[in-house]
Amino acid sequence: MSWLVVLLILYVIWDVNYFIRCVFTVFAGRLFQSKRKVTDTTTIYGLCTSQDVDIFIRHMNNARYVRELDFARFHFYALTGLYEKIRGRKGGAVQGASSVRYRRTIPIFHPYKITTKLVWWDEKAIYLEQQFITLADGFVRAVAMSKQNITNCNVLDVLKSYPETTKRPEKPEELKLWLDAIEVSSQKLRKDK
């Protein structure tokens, strides 16, 4: 009986499902999928359930998109081995910024996939593009840009161990504009001090 109480308390004060899903996503990827190049696109699958919907119980809540993006990033790191290389240099990865453009809702009980692709990098960060695509129609429901700040190590040095990154791609136009907007915001906040 005491284990049931402990479990209930954990579920009330801690998001146990989040941590279970993180572990499942990483280990399932490592066990059942082959390693990927860091420049490859990785894919995870999901289903919009009653736990994901908004107050109208018709489609996925905006906050759930961001949560699902976490799992897709963890999966990307696991399949490419990138996080292990960062940790091997005593570094870490934290979300520096993200932007989600919602194009069309994901209805309840509809399956979807999230693709994750490294689109660019600099000395301090990697930049990922992630897409929510419904399986029934192949429609891109949402697109996210993510800036992953890499701490305590140089990204260029880490990526040298991947032969496919010897030539950095052109910075995508939407990424340039997004980074400019982030810089404008940063400048404004510095002026307010």
- What is the C-alpha to C-alpha distance for residues 123 and 193, in angstroms, rounded to an integer? 27
H or E element at residue 102: strand 92-102
H or E element at residue 171: none
Measuring CA to CA, which residue among 153, 145, 88, 85 is closest to residue 117?
A: 145
For 86-145, write each residue's pLDDT tens digit.
Answer: 999 999 999 999 999 999 999 999 999 999 999 999 999 999 999 999 999 999 999 999
Task: Answer yes or no: is 137 within a domain.
Answer: yes
Domain, as residue range, for 105: 2-183
Tell me the average pLDDT across 168-176.
95
- Quote the pLDDT of residue 16: 84
Task: Answer yes or no: is 60 within a domain.
Answer: yes
Query: The whole model's pTM is what?
Result: 0.91
Q: Which residues contact 189 (CB under 8 A, 6 or more apart)?
A: none
| Count of C-beta atoms within a 10 Å radius of residue 78 | 21
Task: Answer yes or no: is 192 within a domain.
Answer: no
Tell me the average pLDDT across 163-180.
95
165-173 own/partner pairs: CB under 8 Å, 24+ apart: 165/38, 165/39, 165/121, 168/120, 168/121, 169/119, 169/120, 171/120, 172/119, 172/120, 172/129
Task: Answer yes or no: is 123 within a domain.
Answer: yes
Total number of domains constituting the chain: 1
- Quote the pLDDT of residue 11: 82
Q: What's 138's domain CATH number?
A: 3.10.129.10
| Count of C-beta atoms within a 10 Å radius of residue 27 | 11
pLDDT > 90? residue 2: no
Task: Answer yes or no: is 130 within a domain.
Answer: yes
- Quote the pLDDT of residue 14: 86
pLDDT > 80? residue 193: no
**Residues 68/11/79/132 CA torsion (nearest 10 deg):** -10
Q: For the chain, give the number of residues.
A: 193
Task: Answer yes or no: is 172 within a domain.
Answer: yes
Task: Answer yes or no: is 190 within a domain.
Answer: no
Task: Answer yes or no: is 189 within a domain.
Answer: no
Query: For 3-12, 38-47, 51-60, 143-152, which range has the lowest pLDDT when averaged over its residues?
Result: 3-12
